Amino acid sequence: MQPFCSTLKRETAGFFHNYKSIIFNKIFAAVEHSLIVSQEDKIVFTSDKHWLHPLFELEDFIAKEKIDPITLFLRDKIAGKAAACLIVRHGIKSCHIELLSERAIPVFRQHHINFTYDHLVEHIQCRTEDLITDRMSIDEAWLFLRKRAGRVQGLAVKIDKLSVNRGDKEIVKCLDLEVGRGEQLIIHGANGSGKTTLLKTILGLVKPVNGSIQIGDTIVGSAEWKKNRSQTGYVHQENIKNSFPISAGEVVEIGLSAKKFTSQELDYRVEIAMRRTGCFHLLNHSFHELSGGEKQRVSLARCLCQNAQVLLLDEPTSFLDSEGKEELLILLKELSQNEAPTILLVSHDFQWIERLEWIKRELKGGQLC
Amino acid sequence: MLELLTYPPILKGLIVLLFAGISFPITGLYLLKLNLLPLRFMLMHGAIFGGALALAMQLNPMGTTILVNLMLVLFMTRASRTLRVDAGQMSTFFMVITISLAFILIYKFNVPAKDTLSILWGSLYTLSWYEVAGVVIFSLMILAFQLIFNRQLQAIFFDREIAFTAGVNENAIHYAIVIITALTVATAMKLIGALLLDAILLLPALITAFKVKSFHQAIIWSSLCGGIFAIAGFFLSLAFDIPASSSIAVLASVVFISFVIFAKK
């Protein structure tokens, strides 16, 4: 009798445990969270945030846990076109949406997503939904949404009535400029038009006569800025003239000069940055023996290592052959999509800047046209 | 030959050369990297002025020389930045003005010119134990400075604008570099003389530059070369009964020219 009772008790307990777990999962799913992701019927990720943030959190989760997104099943409360683009971009193939916008359906169908829904509506009340145009690719939509979600590395740059002199000559005249977080801008113009002077003023290397520059929340030249000066990375046009020994790894390490790290952490950060720009194999090579393209890769790795949120690139193609220019083009496109720092690029290489497909403005007579 | 080390002046000379040999080439790297060679000539003339001033005013020659050179470096750096004149041009100005002042002092105070110019030959074996301790402490300071500010120095030597944008206080570190360099040059003049200080300061750094591929290696190898030249030169001078400064200079020069020929091949 005793063993039978204990078995019955155990099985009943097991049944109730499983039952409770199913009920709990259902309640959990229905009440607590806006997004639930499961893998083989086991909930692996939940989020109760609003808007598209749960999907961005999911992106981080997939990357961190190195999960194959095809194995995941996603349940979302509401999804419009923007959410559909993100689901596709994350590589998820199956989902159930409680309230689905009709605009999301073509996106799912085009990318062969298995989807079900409880209710279908013509559109959902969200401005983001209207901003995703049909011309945008999934990657473009993802980048646009990341910027909108504030999930970009870049900081906004705001220049207000800036005047800068070179000697007695006013080279920048009452210039206004706003570049949003994670946006890119190309400034072109004739030689001597003040492009480099403008960049050096943004860096704080040249003092303006009038006006102010704001990077993120800090005013260039303020005490706060002095503490956070490394948030702006710089790749200048001059080829480094001195040829004293320095390895590519040491150049990248310069990005961390003002910060305190253990040597292990330092090596790790240098490696990550160099791998990111595809130049880790050059770690112990002499910087001065590298090709122009390799030097630019190393310089960009230095800026990444510095965790620069604004990148200022001054004539980056000056010393590059056609192969180097091609490499740099790909790298900058990748950077602008992934880390998405705010980039201000100065160049008069028209053929090359055309291919970047970034917004262009001309510096002429001390003003941006 | 080792029994000579029982004589305090010889022992003091060995200790000083060992420390100076290891640490001074690091400032030689600074001189080369920041193109401070005109500064080295300004300091040489400054040392003659300091020597003349010390003899005229009956002051400690080494202390006065170091003080004069320190003041010169600070004036030169400040003037160069304020007036936006190249540091080399400013060094040339101070080079001329100091030697002029030195000769005025020699003439007006009847300072024996031979004594003043003895700075050109150095006086390794006349150091007091206090001076030996001073050189040892200063050498350790150079090594500590390099160790603590290694990354900031690396950034400044690569490019000062880049260092600035990386958040390095390049202005303060530049001042520190120039001051340390000035003190090193002034001390090296006392040890091996103004004419031969390049042997311990610059040649190890130049030899290193031929072969190494990184700043880290440059620091280690120039220190090692400097230490080896100083000690080997010291024992050669005892063996052949020649001045230590000359034997160090000859040894460093032979190795340097060998590297030049080898590198060209």
Q: Give all domains of chain A, ordered by start, each with its CATH number.
A: 33-148 (3.40.140.30), 157-368 (3.40.50.300)
- Homologous superfamily (CATH) of B2-264 is ABC transporter involved in vitamin B12 uptake, BtuC (1.10.3470.10)
Helix (H) or strand (E) holding A184: strand A184-188
Measured over the CA atoms of residue B156, residue B162, residue B168 and residue B172, the dihedral's sign is positive
The helix, strand and coil proportions of chain A, stated in percent and rounded to the nearest 5, come to 45, 25, 30
pLDDT of residue B264: 61
pLDDT of residue A243: 67
pTM strictly above 0.90: no
Residues in chain A closer than 8 A to B213 (CB atoms): 245, 247, 284-286, 289
Q: Is B150 on the interface with A (CB under 8 A)?
A: no
Q: Is B216 on the interface with A (CB under 8 A)?
A: yes
Tell me whether 0.85 is exceeded by the ipTM.
no
pLDDT of residue A26: 46
pLDDT of residue B265: 59
**Are B231 and B5 a contacting pair, CB within 8 Å?**
no
Q: How far is B26 from chain A, CA to nearest CA, in Å?
A: 14
Kindly give the confidence (pLDDT) of every residue in chain B, 265 residues in length, as a single tens digit, with 9 standing for 90 and above: 667 778 888 888 889 889 989 999 999 888 888 777 778 788 888 888 888 898 888 888 778 888 888 888 888 888 887 887 877 788 888 889 998 998 898 888 888 877 777 766 777 787 888 888 988 999 999 999 999 999 999 999 888 889 999 889 888 898 898 888 888 887 777 777 776 777 888 888 888 877 788 889 999 999 999 999 999 988 998 888 888 888 888 898 898 888 888 766 5
Give the residue extent of every domain in chain B.
2-264
pLDDT of residue A6: 45
The amino acid at B3 = E
pLDDT of residue A240: 60
**Are B192 and B251 a contacting pair, CB within 8 Å?**
no
Q: Residue A251 is nearest to which of B158, B164, B216, comparing CB atoms? A: B158
Distance of CA A116 to CAs A28, A76, A104, B23, Å? Answer: 20, 11, 12, 74
pLDDT of residue A151: 74
> Which chain A residues have any C-beta within 8 angstroms of a chain B C-beta?
200, 203-205, 228-230, 232-234, 236, 240, 242, 244-247, 249-251, 253-259, 284-286, 289, 302, 306
Angle CA(A177)–CA(A302)–CA(B166) in degrees, nearest 5? 65
What gap in Å lies between CA B129 and CA A307, rounded to an integer? 50
What gap in Å lies between CA A116 and CA A99, rounded to an integer? 10
pLDDT of residue A219: 92
Q: Is B155 on the interface with A (CB under 8 A)?
A: yes
pLDDT of residue A249: 93
The amino acid at A278 = G
pLDDT of residue A21: 44
Tokens describing residue A260? 């305190």
Ranges of residues in chain A with a pLDDT under 70 are: 1-33, 238-243
What gap in Å lies between CA A275 and CA A7, rounded to an integer? 58
Q: How far is A258 from chain B, CA to nearest CA, in Å?
A: 5
pLDDT of residue A27: 44
What gap in Å lies between CA B23 and CA B137, rounded to an integer? 11
What gap in Å lies between CA A89 and CA A189, rounded to an integer? 38
What gap in Å lies between CA B66 and CA A328, rounded to an integer? 51
pLDDT of residue A95: 93
A342-346 and A310-314 strand pairing: parallel
Distance of CA B149 to CAs B36, B145, B168, B227, Å? Answer: 19, 6, 10, 22
Residues in chain B closer than 8 A to A259 (CB atoms): 167
